Amino acid sequence: MIEVNNLSKRYGNIHAVDDISFKVDDGEIFGLLGPNGAGKTTTIGMLTTEIRPTEGKALVSGLDVTKNPLGVKMKIGVVPQHRSLDKKLSGRENISIMARAYGVQNRREKIDDVLRMVGLHERADDNIKKYSGGMLQRLLIARALIHEPDIIFLDEPTMGLDPHARRAIWQKIIELNKQGKTMLLTTHYMEEADALCDRVAIMSEGKIVGLDSPTNLKKKGPAENVIKVGLDDVYPELIEKLKQIKGVKEIKTIEGARTMELHIYAEKGEELSPIVMDKIKTTGISIRSLDIRKPTLEDVFISLTGEKLE
């Protein structure tokens, strides 16, 4: 449904998107996961024909995004990151504008259908100033569905929502996917990528640094376990010492709000952690926290880029 080949976007010497390639299959939920500035919105912009690529090629539903932007637009629905709604209008009126723009037949019924689909039919005639963040996000999804597109792009669909509203959006995404829609979404929430996506492309500084199913990404991840140690301070000598422990594969230092965190990627973390603790204690540095876990997508991300997602 989507085929991206060596796509790039440069703004002067900023490589917003830097030579990325991937394919999204029919019926898939595909995620672009990455921190602020990774190039997610720029990628969506190019695939939805809003941004002209500097180099490379992208086909959406078989159509070239630069040669046939109108054709592409008819096939896709877009839920943008920055809410582009008219604040003077009701929910229904906001959708109606889009329905007219697309020349949707049986407008009245179709608008009712999409409003019902996202659970907004009872509030449809309220001015959207009275909507919560979750309601606005559901309205954007309804609006993206009005012309019955095959492919839906969602840019950070749950950013800033509370856990309850987030789950409501997740359910809609899953429901739409079950109805056969192909979905490409971006997120910087690793739980979201993990919960929703069939496959995830991990983006960092415009590049794709990993691409697979969440399960495989974690399996192929940095190690069997991650030992996370919160410390007041970290010295290079300490890291060198810890690296010499048999079974330790890699160590990343992450700056937390109050403490430093050592992420020690290791096989058999349970067995290794007492040895790690002993080594640290001999340096006199106090340990604030200790946690041994299977790697999450965030750990995979950190091991690939050395950065935190959020």
List the Cα angle 87/89/90 in 5-degree steps: 115
Q: Which stretch binds ligand ATP (CB under 6 A): 38-46, 94-102, 143-151, 293-301?
A: 38-46
Site map (CB under 6 A) of ligand ATP, residues 170-209, x = contact: ------------------x---------------------
With CB cut-offs between 5 and 8 Å by kind, which of Mg ion, ligand ATP, none does residue 34 bind?
ligand ATP
Locate 292 and state its tokens: 């041994």
Locate 164 and state its tokens: 């309850």
Question: Length of the chain in residues, anyone?
Answer: 310
CB closer to Mg ion, 156 vs 194: 156
Can you give the three-state secondary structure of 65-133, one letter per residue?
CCCCHHHHHHHEEEECCCCCCCCCCEHHHHHHHHHHHCCCCCHHHHHHHHHHHCCCHHHCCCEHHHCCH
Min dist. Cβ of residue 89 to Mg ion (A): 25
Min dist. Cβ of residue 206 to ligand ATP (A): 7
- Residue 49 near ligand ATP by CB under 6 A: no
CB closer to ligand ATP, 85 vs 203: 203
Position closest to Mg ion via CB:
41
With CB cut-offs between 5 and 8 Å by kind, which of Mg ion, ligand ATP, none does residue 11 bind?
ligand ATP
Kindly tell me which residue out of 20, 30, 41, 139 binds ligand ATP, with binding defined by CB under 6 A.
41
With CB cut-offs between 5 and 8 Å by kind, which of ligand ATP, Mg ion, none does residue 259 bind?
none
By CB under 6 A, the residues from 58 to 97 that bind ligand ATP are 81
Beta bridge partners of 249: none
CB closer to Mg ion, 68 vs 81: 81
- Residue 27 near ligand ATP by CB under 6 A: no
Is the CB of residue 221 less than 8 Å from the CB of residue 299? yes
Query: Of 182, 109, 98, 175, nearest to 140 (Cα)?
Result: 98
Min dist. Cβ of residue 39 to Mg ion (A): 8
- Residue 34 near ligand ATP by CB under 6 A: yes
- Residue 235 near ligand ATP by CB under 6 A: no
- Residue 215 near ligand ATP by CB under 6 A: no
- Residue 14 near ligand ATP by CB under 6 A: yes
- Residue 39 near ligand ATP by CB under 6 A: yes
Is the CB of residue 1 less than 8 Å from the CB of residue 151? yes
Residues at the site binding ligand ATP, with contacts judged by CB under 6 A: 11, 14, 16, 34, 36-42, 81, 188
